[in-house]
A and B are shown apart, each in its own frame.
Chain A
Amino acid sequence: MDSGYRKRAGLMASVGLAIPVATTLIYMSALSALSTDSYYNERWSDVVSVWLTEVIGFAIGMIAALGLASQPGSEKASWNAVACGGLFGIVSTAIGIGLFKGFGTAGDQFDDLTHAIVNLSFFFYFLSKTLIGAGVAGVGVELLRRGALFGKAVGLLAGLTGLAAVVVNVAAMATGTELVMPGGVTGTLAGAIGAVAVLVVTRLPRSVIDKKEGAGTSV
Chain B
Amino acid sequence: MTTSYSRRAGSVASLGLLIPVATTVTYMLTLGGPDRAGYGPGYAGVEGYFTERWSDIVTVWTIESVGFILCAIASFGLAAAQEKGRAAWNAVALGSLGGFVSTAMGISLFQGFGTAGEDHFPLMVAVLNSSFFFFFVGKALTAAGVAGLAVELLKDGNLASKLLALIGGVVGLGALAINTVAAARGLDLVLLGGFSGTVATALGIPIAFLVTRSAATGSEEVA
Contact = CB atoms under 8 A, between A and B. Distances in A.
A49 B130 CA distance: 16
Interface in A188-219: 214-215, 217-219
A150 interface: no
A97 interface: yes
B141 A94 contact: no
B130 A99 contact: yes
A27 interface: no
Interface in A90-109: 90-91, 94-95, 97-99, 101-103, 105-107, 109
A133 interface: no
Given A59-B141, A98-B129, A106 B183 contact: no
B184 A63 contact: no
A217 B219 CA distance: 11
A101 B223 contact: no
Nearest to B81: A70
- In this complex, which of A49, A95, A102 has the most chain B Cβ atoms within 10 angstroms of its Cβ? A102
A173 B66 CA distance: 31
Interface in B92-134: 94, 97, 101, 119, 122-123, 125-127, 129-134
Nearest to B134: A94
Contacts of A215: 222
A63 B94 contact: yes
Interface in B152-168: none
Query: Would you call the interface of chain A mostly helix, strand, loop, or mixed?
Result: helix
A52 interface: yes
Contacts of B87: 9, 63-64, 67
Interface residues of A, number: 41
B80 interface: yes
A105 B122 contact: yes
A100 B132 CA distance: 14
Contacts of B86: 67, 70
Contact of A59 (B94, B129, B222): B94
A133 to B, nearest CB: 22
A145 B110 CA distance: 51
Interface string B38-53: 0000000000000000
Query: Would you call the interface of chain B mostly helix, strand, loop, or mixed?
Result: helix
A94 B222 contact: no
A59 B126 CA distance: 23
Contact of B184 (A2, A52, A67, A217): A52
A48 to B, nearest CB: 5
B184 A1 contact: no
B137 A110 contact: no
Contacts of A59: 94, 137, 141
Given A62-B90, A106-B126, A218-B222, 19 more contacts: A1-B222, A9-B87, A48-B184, A49-B184, A59-B94, A63-B94, A64-B87, A70-B80, A87-B94, A97-B133, A98-B132, A98-B133, A98-B134, A101-B126, A102-B123, A110-B123, A113-B123, A214-B222, A217-B220
Interface of B: 79-80, 83, 86-87, 90-91, 94, 97, 101, 119, 122-123, 125-127, 129-134, 137, 141, 180, 183-184, 219-223
Across the A-B interface, the 10 shortest Cβ-Cβ residue pairs: A102-B126, A98-B130, A2-B223, A106-B122, A218-B222, A98-B133, A98-B129, A66-B90, A70-B80, A99-B126
